[in-house]
Amino acid sequence: MSAPGLVLPVVETAAPAAVALLGTGTVGTAVWERLRAWQGTPFGQRLQPVLVANSRLICRDRLVPDTSLPALLARATPGMALAQVTSALGETGCRIVIDATAADAVAACHADWLARGIHVVTANKRLNRDSSGNGSCLMGSMEPRVTG
């Protein structure tokens, strides 16, 4: 049975979210394994890893989650600059940084990434101990804003 005159909206599929994973220890490995488990599912199709890095290595090419993390890191290049995170994510679309580190330098970037519209997922507790005030800035950015 169909309703006369019913027009269904055309649903455009958005481009997958660009994901940067920082940290390849226990937490980072668990995140990567979750991305691998989601491959071939609708949820997995919505996430596109564009960067995986730790304090020594960075990989930006051929990031296919069906590759194991050790295999991915085996072809990574030495050196990591946090500026590469923003450039790897691009300027538009949904962009996500997953901070699986305990690094002060990475935590110090959270507020800037948020200001650029990049989503930040983290268990990094360094912001709570940061004497530079970044934690306060980050917490302040989460306060509700009333407009109008």
Task: Say which residue, 118 or 137, is predicted with more confidence.
Answer: 118
The least confident of 6-15, 23-32, 107-116, 119-128 is 6-15
Give the pLDDT of residue 145: 44
- When pLDDT is averaged across residues 4-14 and rounded to a whole number, the result is 63
Q: How far apart are CA 148 and CA 145, in angstroms?
A: 10
> Tell me: the pLDDT tens digits for 16-34?
999 999 999 999 999 999 9
pLDDT at 126: 73
Confidence of residue 8 (pLDDT cuts 50, 70, 90): low
Average pLDDT over residues 54-80: 88
For the cut 80, the answer to whether the pLDDT of residue 114 exceeds it is: yes
Higher pLDDT, 61 or 20: 20
HSE toward the beta carbon, residue 125, CA cutoff 13 A: 0
Confidence check: pLDDT of 38 > 60: yes
Q: State mean pLDDT over 102-114.
A: 93
Given pLDDT bands bounded at 50, 70 and 90, which one contains residue 148?
very low
Domains of the chain: 17-140 (3.40.50.720)
